[in-house]
C-alpha cells in the first residue's frame, strides 16, 4: 500500500517536470557551495580543532547524506507542509480513509527533489572514506550503513515531533526548524569546537552527538576528547531507533489530541 | 422496525477557545496563559436514523452542523454522549468505521490533486480493498450517471467545481457504503450542476438504498431531496420531522393566484386577503389551518369567472428563516 501511495505521489510530482529539474539543480548548487566554502576555509587553516578537511568531510558527508535521505522519506512529516495540511483540512481526509495515519502521512509525500542533496552528500562522504586515512576493518564497513540509518531515524524523529506540534500551534514551527536545520549545520563540525553547554545539549536533550560525532571518532580511530565510555560510538542505532519510537509515541498522542479538538 | 443505522444520544461537544494575544510578546504569552472560554458547539443532541432515510441537517452558520458531522464520521471525539453508526463507535473504531461510510465535504476533495481522476479512483480500489468486479460495476454505473468520461483523464486540480464534486461523489461510493455523509454538496455550483447532483443523490438513495445525511445552506436541496429535516441552532435540535409538518406548523400563509376572466372592480372573498393585484391577476393569502385551498377556490369561483389558478406553498426558505429569526421553537 505504501508503494502505491508513494507511486501516486511521484506521478503527481512528475507533472511539474521543469519545476522538479530546477529544484534539483538549485539544491545541488546550494549544497555544493556550502561544502565548497568549508573546503576553502580549511585550505587556509589546514585543520579545525585538529580535524583535517577529509575528516570533517566524513562528519559532513554522513549528516548531509542522511538528512537528504530523511528529507525524502519523511517529507510527509515536514512540519512546514504538514502544518498546512492540518490547517487546510487535508489531514481530515486521511482520517476518513481506512488506513493507518502514519502510513498515509509517509505516503503523502516522497520528495524526489532531495536526490540532489543526497548525491552531493554521498560524493563528499565518498571522498572522506577514501581520503581520511581510515584503517578499514569489516566491522567499520558494516557500521557505515548503520550510522546512516541511525541518522535518518534521528532527523526523522525531529520531523515527526515538529509535525505533531502543529496540532497545537503553527507558531512554533521555526523553533523546531532551528533544531533540525541547525542540527545539520552543527553536527557537520567536530563537537569539541563547541561550548560545553552546547555539547551537553547535544548529549542529553537532543543526543545528536551519538549518531554522528562518536561514530566518526570510531571510524577514524581518534581518541575521545570528551571522555565518554568506550561503547559510546555503538549507541548510534540505540539513540536513533529510540528517538524514532519516542517521536511516534508523541505523534499518536498528538493525533488523539487533534481528534478531541479539531481545528 | 429495523435497527437504526445511526443513533445519537445526548451528544455534547464543547470547545475551549483560548484567548489569543497578538504580536511577538503575545505569542510568548500564549504559551503560558490559558484564559479559556467554553463554546458549546453541540449541546445535547439526540436522534436516530433508519436505513434508507434521506435526512437534511440544516441550521445557520456556527449552529453545530459540521461539528455533528465530524463526530459522526469519526473526525472528532465528543465531550459527552454516545454515537453508534452501523453498530460502531466512530472515534473508537476509526478504520472499521470509515471503511463503511462515504463522506464528501463540499469544500475539500478526497482525490489526489495532481493525478488524473481515474488514477485516484484506482487508488481507492486498493485503499478500500474493493473486489475488481464490484469496482468495475460501480465505476461503470457512476461514470454514466455523473458523466465523468470527458474528464476522467484530467488532473483533479484542473477540474471545475462541479466536475470535482461529481468525481468526489463517485469516489465516496465506489466501496458501496450503506451510509453517505454530504457536507454542502451543492455549494458554489450553478443551477444545472446543482440539479444534476440532486438527481444523483436521489438515485443512490432510491435505487441503491443508501442512507444519506446532508447539510446544506441551499434550502432547495432540502425541498427537492429530503423527506425528513432536522434544524439545529445553538448546538440543539430545534425541529426534527417531516418537511410537510414543518410547513404545517410554521409555514404561515399559503397563496392562491387567480387569473380572472375579466377585470373586476372588487375581488374580495371571505377568509382570504388580497395580497397583490395586477390587471386580471389576483393573489390571495390564506391561513392553512382556517381554510382549505378547495374551499377558497369554491368561494372565488362562486363570485367571479376564473380562467386559471395556482396554489403556492410558502417556500421552505421563508419558513426556516422565520424559525431562526423569530425563535418560534424556543418555548418548546
**What's the pLDDT tens digit per position in B252-288?**
678 899 999 888 888 888 888 888 888 889 999 888 7
> Residue B182 pairs with which residues in a beta bridge?
B104, B214
The Cα B225–Cα B203 span in angstroms is: 10
Q: Which of B12, B78, B95, B128 should be substituted to probe chain A, the one whose Cβ sees the most A Cβ atoms within 10 Å?
A: B95
Give me the pLDDT at residue B29, please.
Answer: 63
Mean pLDDT across chain B, nearest whole number? 87
Residues A251, A40: Cα–Cα separation, whole Å: 42
Instruction: Show which of residues 6-45 on chain A sit within 8 Å of chain B, judged by CB atoms.
Output: 8-9, 11-13, 15-16
pLDDT band for position A41 (cuts 50, 70, 90): confident
**A147-158: b (≥16 Cβ within 10 Å) or e:** bbbbbbbbbbbb
Give strand ranges (E) for chain B.
6-18, 36-49, 54-58, 80-85, 102-105, 179-183, 211-215, 228-233, 236-242, 253-260, 273-278, 281-287, 306-312
- Identify the domain containing residue A160 by its residue range: 2-261
Q: Do B99 and A98 touch (CB under 8 A)?
A: yes
Instruction: Compute the radius of gyration of chain B from its Cα atoms.
Output: 25
- Cβ B65 vs Cβ B238: under 8 Å: no
Query: B162-200: per-residue pLDDT in tens?
Result: 999 999 999 999 999 999 999 989 888 888 889 999 999
Chain A contact probe: residue of B94, B104, B124 with most A CBs at under 10 A: B94
Give the integer Cα–Cα distance in Å for A83 and A89. Answer: 10
Q: A247 Cβ partners below 8 Å, 6+ apart?
A: A156, A157, A158, A160, A161, A164
| Chain-chain contact of A1 with B67 (C-beta, under 8 angstroms) | no
The string of pLDDT tens digits covering residues B106-156 is 778 889 988 999 999 999 999 999 999 999 999 999 999 999 999 999 999
Q: What percent of chain A has pLDDT over 90?
A: 41
pLDDT digits (tens, 9 = 90+) for A48-80: 888 888 899 999 999 999 999 999 999 999 998
Rounded mean pLDDT, B77-106: 92
CB of B169 closer than 8 Å to CB of B131: no
pLDDT level of residue B332 (50, 70, 90 thresholds): very low
Longest dimension (CA), chain B: 80
Residue appearing with cell numbers 425541529:
B239
Residue (of B108, B85, B94) closest to B171 by Cα position? B108
For the ranges A224-233, B86-95, B164-173, which has the lowest average pLDDT? A224-233
Residue of A54, A256, A62 lying closest to A150 (CA atoms): A62
Cell of B194: 446543482
Question: What digits encode the pLDDT tens for the residues B8-48?
Answer: 999 999 888 776 666 666 666 666 666 678 888 899 999 99
Mean pLDDT score of chain A, rounded to an integer? 88
- Rounded mean pLDDT, A203-229: 89
pLDDT for res B24: 62
> Which position has the grid cell 517529507?
A75
* Residue at grid coordinates 382549505: B292
Higher pLDDT, A39 or B41: B41
A262 at the B interface (CB within 8 A)? Answer: yes
CA dist., res. B71 & res. B101, Å (int): 13
Q: What is the ipTM of this complex?
A: 0.81
CA distance A85 to chain B (A): 12
Q: Compute the distance between CA of residue A262 and CA of residue B268 in angstroms, rounded to an integer.
A: 59
CA-to-CA distance for B192 and B195, rounded, in angstroms? 5
Picking from A17, A91, A98, A101 by the largest number of B CB atoms within 10 A of its own CB, the best residue to mutate is A98
Kindly report, residue by residue over B193-222, the tens digit of the pLDDT.
899 999 999 999 999 999 999 998 888 888
Query: Average pLDDT in the A98-116 region?
Result: 90
Q: How far is B77 from chain A (nearest CA, A)?
A: 5
Q: Count the domains in chain A.
A: 1
Amino acid at each position: 500500500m505504501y508503494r502505491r501511495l508513494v507511486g501516486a505521489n511521484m506521478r503527481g510530482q512528475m507533472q511539474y517536470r521543469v519545476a522538479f529539474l530546477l529544484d534539483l539543480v538549485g539544491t545541488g548548487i546550494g549544497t555544493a557551495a556550502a561544502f565548497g566554502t568549508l573546503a576553502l576555509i580549511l585550505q587556509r587553516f589546514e585543520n579545525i580543532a585538529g580535524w583535517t578537511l577529509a575528516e570533517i568531510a566524513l562528519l559532513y558527508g554522513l549528516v548531509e547524506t542522511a538528512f537528504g535521505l530523511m528529507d525524502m522519506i519523511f517529507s510527509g512529516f515536514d512540519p512546514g507542509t504538514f502544518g498546512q495540511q492540518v490547517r487546510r483540512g487535508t489531514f481530515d481526509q486521511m482520517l476518513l480513509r481506512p488506513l493507518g495515519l502514519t502510513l498515509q502521512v509517509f505516503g503523502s509525500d516522497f520528495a524526489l527533489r532531495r536526490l540532489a542533496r543526497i548525491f552531493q552528500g554521498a560524493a563528499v562522504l565518498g571522498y572522506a572514506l577514501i581520503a581520511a586515512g581510515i584503517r578499514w576493518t569489516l566491522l567499520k564497513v558494516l557500521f557505515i550503513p548503520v550510522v546512516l540509518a541511525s541518522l535518518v531515524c534521528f532527523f526523522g524523529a525531529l520531523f515527526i515531533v515538529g509535525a505533531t506540534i502543529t496540532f497545537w500551534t503553527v507558531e512554533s514551527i521555526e523553533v523546531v526548524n532551528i533544531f533540525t536545520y541547525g542540527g545539520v549545520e552543527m553536527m557537520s563540525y567536530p563537537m569539541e569546537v563547541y561550548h560545553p553547554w552546547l555539547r551537553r545539549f547535544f548529549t542529553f536533550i537532543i543526543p545528536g552527538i551519538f549518531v554522528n560525532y562518536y561514530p566518526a571518532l570510531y571510524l577514524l580511530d581518534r581518541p575521545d576528547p570528551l571522555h565518554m565510555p568506550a561503547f559510546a560510538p555503538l549507541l548510534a542505532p540505540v539513540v536513533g531507533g529510540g528517538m524514532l519510537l519516542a517521536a511516534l509515541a508523541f505523534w499518536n498522542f498528538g493525533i488523539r489530541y487533534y481528534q478531541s479538538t479539531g481545528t | 422496525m429495523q435497527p437504526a443505522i445511526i443513533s445519537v444520544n445526548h451528544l455534547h461537544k464543547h470547545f475551549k477557545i483560548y484567548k489569543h494575544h497578538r504580536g511577538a510578546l503575545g505569542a510568548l504569552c500564549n504559551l503560558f496563559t490559558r484564559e479559556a472560554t467554553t463554546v458549546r458547539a453541540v449541546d445535547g443532541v439526540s436522534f436516530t436514523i433508519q436505513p434508507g432515510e434521506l435526512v437534511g441537517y440544516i441550521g445557520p452558520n456556527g449552529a453545530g452542523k459540521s461539528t455533528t458531522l465530524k463526530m459522526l464520521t469519526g473526525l472528532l471525539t465528543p465531550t459527552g454522549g454516545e454515537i453508534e453508526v452501523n453498530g460502531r463507535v466512530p472515534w473508537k473504531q476509526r478504520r472499521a468505521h470509515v471503511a463503511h461510510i462515504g463522506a464528501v465535504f463540499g469544500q475539500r476533495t478526497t482525490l489526489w490533486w495532481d493525478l488524473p481522476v481515474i488514477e485516484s479512483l484506482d487508488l481507492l480500489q486498493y485503499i478500500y480493498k474493493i473486489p475488481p468486479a464490484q469496482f468495475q460495476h460501480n465505476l461503470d454505473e457512476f461514470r454514466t450517471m455523473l458523466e465523468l468520461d470527458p474528464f476522467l483523464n484530467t488532473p483533479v486540480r484542473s477540474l471545475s467545481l462541479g466536475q470535482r464534486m461529481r468525481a468526489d461523489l463517485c469516489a465516496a461510493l465506489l466501496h458501496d457504503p450503506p451510509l453517505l455523509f454530504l457536507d454542502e454538496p451543492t455549494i458554489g455550483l450553478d443551477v444545472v450542476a446543482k440539479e444534476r447532483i440532486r438527481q444523483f443523490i436521489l438515485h443512490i438513495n432510491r435505487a441503491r438504498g443508501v442512507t444519506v445525511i446532508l447539510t446544506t445552506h441551499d434550502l432547495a436541496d432540502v425541498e427537492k431531496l429530503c423527506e425528513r429535516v432536522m434544524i439545529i441552532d445553538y448546538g440543539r435540535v430545534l425541529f426534527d420531522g417531516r418537511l410537510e409538518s414543518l410547513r404545517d406548523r410554521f409555514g404561515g400563509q399559503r397563496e392562491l393566484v387567480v387569473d380572472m376572466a375579466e377585470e373586476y372592480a372588487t375581488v374580495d372573498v371571505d377568509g382570504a386577503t388580497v395580497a397583490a393585484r395586477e390587471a386580471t391577476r389576483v393573489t390571495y393569502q390564506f391561513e392553512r389551518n382556517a381554510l382549505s385551498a378547495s374551499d377558497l377556490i369554491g368561494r372565488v369561483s362562486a363570485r367571479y369567472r376564473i380562467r386559471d389558478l395556482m396554489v403556492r406553498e410558502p417556500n421552505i426558505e421563508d419558513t426556516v428563516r422565520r424559525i431562526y429569526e423569530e425563535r418560534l421553537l424556543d418555548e418548546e
